[in-house]
Amino acid sequence: MKTISNLKIQENLARVFKGRIRQNEALSQHTYMKIGGPVDLFLNPEDIADLKAAVEFLNQAAIPWVIIGKGSNLLVSDQHLPIAAIELSSAFFQELSRQNNVVYAAAGVSLASFINFNKSQGLAGSEFLAGIPGSIGGAVFMNAGARNLNSAGLEKLCSVFDIVSQVQVMDKAGELSIISKKDIEFSYRSCGLDDQIVIAAWFELEPGAEVKIDLDIQAFLDNKIKTQELGLPNAGCIFKNPSIIKISAGALIEQANLKGLAIGDAAVSLIHANFIVNKGKASFAQVKSLISQIQVIVENKFSVYLEPEVKIWDREGFK
């Protein structure tokens, strides 16, 4: 695979693009897993017009591109990738505002800032996102969520789908639109908008007391501290929970006695069996092999195929 022939492209891009351009940026610096090789271009558009300019330029130059959020759900090849990664992190993509009970959040806002803003506004409903380390763009794209106890004390799966009302997107050709929830095919860890860039979203929340909201956020955070791997680099849950049985992917991996199984520095977490940790210098190949090994063992033992939740970016694709 060729490197994007640099200088000319850079010069031409700089004529139409106002934001920051980095070359040969290692994605290991932008992923929670701390794994990822260099991409030819790493772009931070200043605003929507700048994003459109970048997308149009890259399309015309036939340079493949991807959108990267906070990198908390990514496993990226450590080989060079001849692509552009676009990160929506400039001030423009940090807007948070409120009208009545509806909160507007731009793609680059962190979930922590979103939750804190809602708390300060006395708006309840987003507390279940506490402790999920992503951006609004990534959370909408992934339909991020968590288990919650409802008022009757029953466990319920909450996700972005429950609170979002509409999403502003840009398609791959650079066209903008606003899509309402009823037209979005949300499902478990997907919003079905695979060909769209999430620019911002509106969330319908409910008035609530700040003290109660804070207590609920704390309860979610405490639960994460108890049950999730926070010490070593990881990408959250590696596999989706299977739909055909009512046992979580983590429970299946644990029942197969795979906690601690390691290939090089990639290991199944001792705390949460659905997490793979990077104990130091884990390579992409080691994590991928560990994923395959877990899939084979679990399938042989329980006849359940574990589908990856983590997005895997390599020269074969960006899935």
Site residues for ligand FAD per CB under 6 A: 32, 66-74, 88, 107, 132-135, 137-139, 141-142, 144-146, 197-198, 228, 234-236, 311
In degrees rounded to 5, what are phi and psi of residue 18? Answer: -90, -20
Sheet containing strand 81-87, edge to edge, reads: 20-26, 38-44, 81-87, 65-68
The identity of residue 144, as a single letter, is A
Alpha helices for 94-206 (secondary structure H): 111-120, 136-142, 160-163
Query: What single-letter DSSP state applies at residue 259?
Result: T
CB of 222 to ligand FAD, least distance (A): 14
CB of 169 to ligand FAD, least distance (A): 8
**Within 10 A of 4 (CB to CB), how many other CB atoms are there?**
19
**Residue 142 or 258 having the CB closest to ligand FAD:** 142
**Within 10 A of 93 (CB to CB), how many other CB atoms are there?**
24
CB of 301 to ligand FAD, least distance (A): 25
**Residue 117 or 210 having the CB closest to ligand FAD:** 117
Is the distance from CB of 43 to CB of 5 less than 8 angstroms? no
CB of 58 to ligand FAD, least distance (A): 15
**Residue 101 or 223 having the CB closest to ligand FAD:** 223
Which one, of 32, 109, 103, lies nearest residue 278 by Cα? 32
**Residue 124 or 169 having the CB closest to ligand FAD:** 169
Element housing 80 (H / E): none
Longest Cα separation, the chain: 63
How far, in Å, CA of 79 to CA of 233, rounded? 19
**Residue 11 or 180 having the CB closest to ligand FAD:** 180
CB of 281 to ligand FAD, least distance (A): 19
CB of 137 to ligand FAD, least distance (A): 2
**Residue 74 or 83 having the CB closest to ligand FAD:** 74
Does residue 42 sit in helix, strand or coil? strand
How far, in Å, CA of 102 to CA of 20, rounded? 32
**Residue 107 or 205 having the CB closest to ligand FAD:** 107
CB of 309 to ligand FAD, least distance (A): 8
